[in-house]
Amino acid sequence: MHLHKVNIGGLETPNNVFLAPLAGYTNAVFRDMCYRLGAGLTFTEMVSAKGLCYGSAGTKELLTELPEYGGIRACQLFGSEPEYLERAAKSEEIAPFELIDINMGCPVPKIFKNGEGSALLADIKLAERIVKAVKSSGKRVSVKFRTGISEGNLVTEEFARAMEGAGADMITIHGRTREKVYSGEVNYAEIERAKKAVKIPVIANGGVFSPEDAANLMERTGADGVMLARGAMYNPFLFAEITGTPAGDKRAHIERQLDLTYKYYGDRFATVYMRKMIGFYIKGSSGAAQMRLKLLSCNSREEIEGVLSQIKL
């Protein structure tokens, strides 16, 4: 695929291959890992604007950044009430971030029933108010959304125009409807229509698990870049493959991730998280099933390190 910088309201990314916000996965350590492997932009997990306004410690923790992180600092907020999103965008916790993405695509039932995430696709006027409210913070703003709630009500082009009109500096389109969740074909034509309808950068998301997938998504949509979600979660080294970034020693990257995850997130979280992530990384390799079973039985850092030492990477 054609690699180039993306200008987001004056912010220039090193390339156009981005990491999607992934709840439960894109913590500060994983984002740093992906950046080092070539990701041009990474986002925090989705952060509740209301939770931030109410001072939730768990919500604030999602905004952790490594001091050594060298990329653009971007967070993702979600909510349905413009006043809370505005307060969150102007908060002390968001101050270090240069770009705020607004989640208008999450398909999870709990989020949808609250009128948040992909539910906003059914209320374009409210979505516009939210973008304007966040934009009043003076931050650059992007919006991530889907093609519609259902195949019978695709709103991609109209929604893209509305987001640009409200002040968004970039949009990312997941080429599936809310009802498809993460399965089914990506609707390339819908993303292409939105790309032709606006002047701001359009990033295509959905179905990228190889460099060929990334090139195909770019070619068929005309998008300015691609965003990796599950493909990166399963294989962060995919960023290096797509961008040509020298990956170096895989084991060294994983050991660094293990070390920093324990350092910043504590034993309990790190043990559950890292045994799952390493299980993802070895998928498809010789003896992977047996190693995953060993990982799942690990209850400490030392046990995970012991299993990792037995894995061929």
Structure tokens at 194: 């939105």
Catalytic site residue from 34, 53, 75, 106: 106
> Is-catalytic flag, 53?
no
pLDDT of res. 287 = 83
Q: Which residues of the chain carry a pLDDT beneath 50? A: none
The CA distance from 17 to 227, in Å, is: 6
Crossing angle of the two packed helices 156-166 and 124-135, in degrees rounded to 10: 30
Task: State the DSSP code for 285.
Answer: S
> Which residues, in sequence order, are bridge partners of residue 8?
11
Q: State the pairing for strand pair 140-146/7-8.
A: unpaired
- Contact at 8 Å (CB) between 200 and 172? no
The CA distance from 264 to 270, in Å, is: 9
- Determine the residue type at 56: S
Domain ranges of the chain: 7-243, 250-310
End-to-end CA distance of the chain: 26
Structure tokens at 136: 């009043």
- Sign of the C-alpha dihedral computed for residues 208, 220, 242 and 41 taken in this order: negative
pLDDT of res. 283 = 87
Residue 292 Cα distances to 249, 251, 280, angstroms? 21, 16, 9
* CATH value of 7-243 in 1.10.287.130, 3.30.930.10, 3.20.20.70, 3.30.365.10: 3.20.20.70
pLDDT of res. 184 = 82
* CATH value of 250-310 in 3.30.9, 1.10.10, 1.10.287, 1.10.1200: 1.10.1200
Task: State the DSSP code for 148.
Answer: B
pLDDT of res. 42 = 98
* pTM score, whole prediction: 0.95
Q: Which residue in 150, 148, 147, 115 sits closest to 129, CA to CA?
A: 115
Output phi, psi for 129, to 5 deg: -60, -40
